Structure 1
Amino acid sequence: MGAESKRQQKFARLVQKDLGDIFQREMQHILPNVMVTVTMVRATPDLSGVKVYLSFYNAPDVKEAINTVKLHAADFRYKLGKRIRNQARIVPELEFFVDDTNEYVEKMDKLFNQIRDKEE
């Protein structure tokens, strides 16, 4: 996969900002007491689809949380469409994924700490 064009990056930033807003203000009822962060958005070259990476804070079960979001994907797309209709010709299809970067970083930190402790 090549580098994203400026147009894709700009569109992805727009979608990220608006989806983040939707999660915080309009859709918090689908995951009560869970903070959802849109960590990254990647747009297809034709802007017809986006991959949305989410981070969940305070979620008892991350798999269940992402499945709940996927079940409501049409609602998110509709709300996004209402916000970006003046800036985009089409409302992209939304694909949601868990961003597990933080868990990976924590796991690596633990491993490095274990190695350092063994050396001392």
Structure 2
Amino acid sequence: MESKRQQKFAGVIQQDLAGIFQREGMNYLPHTMVTITKVRVTPDLAIARVFLSFFNNTDNAQSLQTVKSHASEIRYKLGARIKDQVRVIPQLEFFVDDTSEYVERMDKIFDKISKEDRQPDTEEN
């Protein structure tokens, strides 16, 4: 369970990272829209785990590697934005948020189940 402090700090990071990716994301990943879906912060606020979702993209793994290779630059830009609000700029760890893929997969499964012929209930004698 995250504390209110962690949640508030995660929200600040998410908002500022979203601005960074919105303005400068094309430098890292041209023709790809990057969305920060959630941020989780450790209790000591030293590490921020950032979950990303990529749109208009064919290879999420390659995009994640590209973002990870620019992590220090992104952290620097984040630090410039939040330096007056925090003591230490957290290390950034990036992950792919596959929630939308999971939802699509579950929708397909439910569609398949609903299209199958239903077995009639056994009659009680």
Amino acid at match of 1:114: K
TM-score for the superposition, normalised by structure 1: 0.96
1:46 CA drift (Å): 0.6
Match of 2:69 among 59, 64, 71: 71
Partners in 2 of 1:79 and 1:107 — Cα distance?
Answer: 36
Partner of 2:122: none
Q: Which 5+ residue runs of structure 2 have no aligned equivalent?
A: 119-125
Tell me how large the CA RMSD over aligned residues is. Answer: 0.8
Amino acid at match of 2:27: H
Instruction: State how many pairs are aligned.
Output: 118
State the identity as a percent.
57
Match of 2:103 among 87, 95, 105: 105
1:1-120 paired onto structure 2 within 5 Å: 3-119=1-117
Cα distance per residue 1:7-58 (max 9 Å; x no partner): 0000000000000110010232110010000000000001011100000001
Cα distance per residue 1:52-108 (max 9 Å; x no partner): 000000112110000000000001100000000000101000000000000000000
SS at match of 2:116: helix
Moved more, 20-29 or 73-82: 20-29
TM-score for the superposition, normalised by structure 2: 0.92
SS at match of 1:38: strand
Q: Which 5+ residue runs of structure 1 have no aligned equivalent?
A: none
Partners in 1 of 2:91 and 2:29 — Cα distance?
Answer: 21
